[in-house]
Amino acid sequence: MSNLNQFAGQARELLRRDTTWPFLVPRQRSPDVSKQVILYLEGLNVSFDGFKALNDLNLYVNDGELRCLIGANGAGKTTLMDVITGKTRCDSGSAWFGQNIDLLAHDEAEIAQLGIGRKFQKPTVFEAHTVFHNLELSLQGSKGVWSALTASLTSIESDRIDEVLKIIGLQNARFQLAGALSHGQKQWLEIGMLLAAQPRLLLIDEPVAGMTAEEAERTAELLTSLAGKHTVIVVEHDMEFVRSIARTVTVLHQGSVLAEGTMDQVQNNPDVIEVYLGEEA
Amino acid sequence: MNAMSNLIEKMTRVLTELRQPGKGSSMLVGVLLATTLAMSAANLLLPADSAFYVSTYTITLMGKYLCFAMLAMAVDIIWGYCGILSLGHGAFFALGGYGMGMYLMRQIGDRGVYGNPDLPDFMVFLNWQELPWYWFGMDQFWFAVLMALAIPGLLAFVFGWLAFRSRVTGVYLSIMTQALTYALMLAFFRNEMGFGGNNGLTDFKDILGFDLQADATRVALLLVTTLLLVIAFITSRAIVQSRLGRVIVAVRDAEARARFLGYRTERYKVWLFVYSALIAAVAGMLYVPQVGIINPGEFSPLNSIEVVVWVAVGGRGTLYGAIVGALLVNYAKTRFTAIMPDGWLFALGALFVIVTVYLPQGLAGLLQRFGRSESVQAARREEDAGSDSGISTREVNA
Ligand SMILES: Nc1ncnc2c1ncn2[C@@H]1O[C@H](COP(=O)(O)OP(=O)(O)OP(=O)(O)O)[C@@H](O)[C@H]1O
Ligand SMILES: [Mg+2]
């Protein structure tokens, strides 16, 4: 009898009108950054057919920071981004977004929805669409099939697109096909697509590759202006560029962190001089 | 001279209009409706010796072409817009056809050779005593239609779910679709399957109580086919012009980019594949009462490849291109096989090679090339307006 009462009580609790069913409440989706750190990578190992692309890598990135990652070709920079965004599964190690989200438990689409945007090493935009539609598809919001079918552009969304167009300086190319843009403009559009989604963390792989000096300078301004609002991790080979934006630089070598510090500290680090800058000299 | 250039200008304007997604499409719909209505009237109202009389044979031929056009459109939706080259869409077409064929078989009743009121002739011939369970309910039109949609739809869902979730793409996917239709062909050839084996289902008498041999029924079937083609066309156009359509094109061109923006691309592919299979199934359902037979030959891998050629000729990724391509190539096939029955496959192969090499965008691409001079001018005008571009950071800082 008391069992029955208990059951009835539970059922009444479940059917209360003023509360939502627990399984319908969206899960807490934003990273907990109470310790100032937004990205924890610990002991990451990735190997491709025995070749260790990442080797016991440890990296912490603070919330709102602009971090530069440098390293020779094949050092594992892109692989690191692949692991963070769920493209590549790591053999061991852990990757946490804030203190509460285990990145290794999610796939690419989920990680993107959590607020991690990624620019590819080779600029990738939707060439058959206009600049405007590229940004429209990148907006934050439901990415389901049904909502895409019934979606119509709200005024908030179109304001957001205008805002992003202004930030990346492509207002006048709004109705141009993305495929017709110059290489540098495609890079900017791709960054704009990330911004349209209002991410917490931006991973930007070689943003100034193939840009003129002037374009690179503008990109540097853009990226520094993003820091604070977003956390930005930039991979770049162009030392001039890194020097112009860097606050903290991390040097990767053969899949692990070799040195970390300001540009000057890093450049005077004997290990770095030996394995990385030494190669160029 | 002046009149000539005027004419050319007018022609280009018409072509440019046709090129724009909205206008050209409504024009196609108008032409389709007008043609079939005129043909129907000419068949029913004019005496057989009139110069404008359209024979019932022609009516049925046209209905058959329109079914093929619908099938071509189904292939275009996934190939042209999503880059999934299905070489097995004939399977969904044939399954839809078998669904309708089963209904038509049951409609024969006791008018078959053996006069058995429940069992179709081929079952009596095989000494079967009762109807297999999967034939139950197929004497009801609504149930048969439901099954003719549900089975191909379910098959497409399961196939797509398995293939796209494991990220099978490109040639491997095409080969899998070929294998699918080939396996079904072998299965349907077997007598024990209970679908008439080699001979398939045929000798239909009537549909919904109307005599299938009557002119009026034939005309009605043609009109229904046209109507459903138009509805499918308009629905598909609405889909490809929605945000969903833009995501699908994005998946075609840069699937990884779409995925890293948060789209579950495999779900988009699965649902589009199911939608496309359903259209193919409807086409198959309409095809069977008009040609009067469905047999395992419809599952032949070659059939599915032919559909791809129709789409390539018309121009993929345009919807109307697929329809025009299917109509033209099938008309050519009818003409050609009348003269040289054995040469058609060679002609088809040659056509495919010519189109791939010289007309990668198909006939629709040819239209676009005609209208290009104008669009280039428009683009230039826009470019002039937008000569200063660069990054401004002030807004971000503010
Ligand atoms: N999918 C893969 N299969 C096999 N090897 C791979 C794969 N991806 C990366 N690698 C290897 O892992 C190593 C690290 O590659 P990664 O792309 O991370 O380097 P990177 O630091 O980004 O170099 P770059 O500056 O040239 O972009 C390289 O030697 C590369 O060949
Ligand atoms: Mg790289």
| Predicted confidence (pLDDT) per residue in B122-141, tens digit | 999 999 999 999 999 999 99
Instruction: State which of A47, A73, A235 you would mutate to test the pocket of ligand 1, scoring each by most atoms of that ligand within 8 A of its C-beta.
Output: A73
Note the pLDDT of residue A149.
Answer: 92
pLDDT tens per residue, range B92-111: 999 999 999 999 999 998 89
3-state class of A230 per DSSP?
Answer: strand
Task: Give me the mean pLDDT over the A82-98 stretch.
Answer: 94
Note the pLDDT of residue B393.
Answer: 33
Quote the CA–CA distance of A49 and A59 in Å, as a whole number: 24
- Within a domain: A8: no
Quote the CA–CA distance of A111 and A96 in Å, as a whole number: 11
3-state class of A231 per DSSP?
Answer: strand
Task: Give me the mean pLDDT over the A63-89 stretch.
Answer: 93
Task: Give me the mean pLDDT over the B250-258 stretch.
Answer: 95
- Closest to B389 (Cβ–Cβ): which among A127, A170, A221? A170
Note the pLDDT of residue B388.
Answer: 38
> Which tokens go with A193?
């697509």
DSSP string of A63-81, one letter each residue = TT-EEEEE--TTSSHHHHH
The candidate with the shortest Cα–Cα distance to B277, out of B109, B70, B7, is: B70
Note the pLDDT of residue B60.
Answer: 96
Q: In total, how many domains does chain B have?
A: 1
Note the pLDDT of residue B179.
Answer: 97
Task: Give me the mean pLDDT over the B20-42 stretch.
Answer: 83
Note the pLDDT of residue A79.
Answer: 95
Between chains, do B382 and A133 touch, taking CB under 8 Å as contact? no
DSSP string of B23-81, one letter each residue = HHHHHHHHHHHHHHHHHHHHHHHS-TTSTT---HHHHHHHHHHHHHHHHHHHHHHHHHH
- Within a domain: A56: yes
Quote the CA–CA distance of B328 and A124 in Å, as a whole number: 38
- Does position B59 have pLDDT exceeding 80, yes or no? yes
Question: CA A157, A163, A165, A168: dihedral to nearest 10 degrees?
Answer: -140
Note the pLDDT of residue A69.
Answer: 94
pLDDT tens per residue, range A127-155: 999 999 999 999 998 899 999 999 889 99
- For chain A, the average pLDDT equals 88
Note the pLDDT of residue B13.
Answer: 66
Q: How many CA within 13 A on the CB side of residue B96?
A: 25
Phi, psi of A200 (to 5 degrees): -85, -40
pLDDT tens per residue, range B315-331: 999 999 999 999 999 99
- Within a domain: A244: yes
Quote the CA–CA distance of B250 and B81 in Å, as a whole number: 9
pLDDT tens per residue, range B283-303: 999 999 999 999 999 999 999
The candidate with the shortest Cα–Cα distance to B88, out of B352, B348, B303, B271, is: B303
- Does position A27 have pLDDT exceeding 80, yes or no? no
- Within a domain: A242: yes
- Within a domain: A86: yes
- What pTM did the predictor assign? 0.88
Note the pLDDT of residue B382.
Answer: 43
Give A167's contacts in chain B (Cβ within 8 Å).
Answer: 391-393, 395-396
Quote the CA–CA distance of B38 and B218 in Å, as a whole number: 14
Note the pLDDT of residue B373.
Answer: 45
Note the pLDDT of residue A17.
Answer: 61
3-state class of A176 per DSSP?
Answer: coil
Who lines ligand 1 at CB under 6 A?
A: A 48, 53, 71, 73-79, 121
Report in angstroms the alpha-carbon separations of A8 from A12, A16, B309: 6, 12, 65
Query: Which residue's CA is the nearest one to ligand 1's atom 11?
Result: A53
Quote the CA–CA distance of A210 and A205 in Å, as a whole number: 13
3-state class of B96 per DSSP?
Answer: helix
- Does position B392 have pLDDT exceeding 60, yes or no? no
Between chains, do A218 and B391 touch, taking CB under 8 Å as contact? yes
Report in angstroms the alpha-carbon separations of B281 from B74, B91, B276: 9, 9, 9
User: For position A126, which CATH number holds?
Assistant: 3.40.50.300
Q: Does A219 touch chain B (CB under 8 A)?
A: yes
Quote the CA–CA distance of B16 and B36 in Å, as a whole number: 25
Note the pLDDT of residue B12.
Answer: 67
- Within a domain: A68: yes
Percent of chain A past pLDDT 90, that is, above it, reads 65
Note the pLDDT of residue B22.
Answer: 55
- Closest to B253 (Cβ–Cβ): which among A108, A126, A143? A126
Report in angstroms the alpha-carbon separations of A145 from A229, B76, B89, B240, B319: 31, 19, 23, 13, 21
Q: Does B274 touch chain A (CB under 8 A)?
A: no
- Within a domain: A10: no
- Does position A29 have pLDDT exceeding 80, yes or no? no
Query: Which residue's CA is the nearest one to ligand 1's atom 26?
Result: A73
Q: How many CA within 13 A on the CB side of residue A280?
A: 11
**B133-162 burial code (b ≥16 CB/10 A, e <16):** eebeebbebeebbebbbebbbebbeebbbe
Note the pLDDT of residue B55.
Answer: 93
Gyration radius (Cα) of chain A, Å: 22
From the alpha carbon of A72, which atom of ligand 1 is closest?
25
Task: Give me the mean pLDDT over the B27-41 stretch.
Answer: 92
Note the pLDDT of residue B384.
Answer: 42
> Which tokens go with B161?
């779910």
Quote the CA–CA distance of B295 and B89 in Å, as a whole number: 16
- Does position A273 have pLDDT exceeding 90, yes or no? no
pLDDT tens per residue, range A7-24: 777 777 666 665 555 555
- Closest to B246 (Cβ–Cβ): which among A117, A133, A176? A133
pLDDT tens per residue, range A258-267: 999 998 898 8
Q: Does B380 touch chain A (CB under 8 A)?
A: no
Task: Give me the mean pLDDT over the A95-119 stretch.
Answer: 93
CA of A94 to the centre of ligand 1 (A): 20
Quote the CA–CA distance of A204 and A211 in Å, as a whole number: 15
pLDDT tens per residue, range A194-250: 999 999 999 999 998 888 889 999 999 999 999 889 999 999 988 888 988 878 999
Residue B396 pLDDT level (bands cut at 50, 70, 90)? very low
Quote the CA–CA distance of A252 and A88 in Å, as a whole number: 18
**B371-384 burial code (b ≥16 CB/10 A, e <16):** beeeeeeeeeeeee
- For chain B, the average pLDDT equals 88
CA of A237 to the centre of ligand 1 (A): 15
Q: In total, how many domains does chain A have?
A: 1
Q: Does A1 touch chain B (CB under 8 A)?
A: no
- Within a domain: A23: no
CA of A79 to the centre of ligand 1 (A): 6
Q: Identify the domain containing residue A244 by its residue range.
A: 35-280
Between chains, do B256 and A124 touch, taking CB under 8 Å as contact? yes
> Which tokens go with B343?
């040469």
Which tops the pLDDT comparison, A279 or B246? B246
Q: In terms of CA atoms, which chain A residue is nearest residue B249?
A: A128
The candidate with the shortest Cα–Cα distance to B256, out of A136, A190, A200, A131, is: A190
Q: Identify the domain containing residue B335 by its residue range.
A: 2-397
From the alpha carbon of A255, which atom of ligand 1 is closest?
14
Between chains, do A108 and B260 touch, taking CB under 8 Å as contact? yes
Instruction: State which of A79, A83, A91 you would mutate to test the pocket of ligand 1, scoring each by most atoms of that ligand within 8 A of its C-beta.
Output: A79
Q: In terms of CA atoms, which chain A residue is nearest residue B236?
A: A149
- Closest to A221 (Cβ–Cβ): which among B257, B258, B393? B393
Quote the CA–CA distance of B345 and A229 in Å, as a whole number: 63
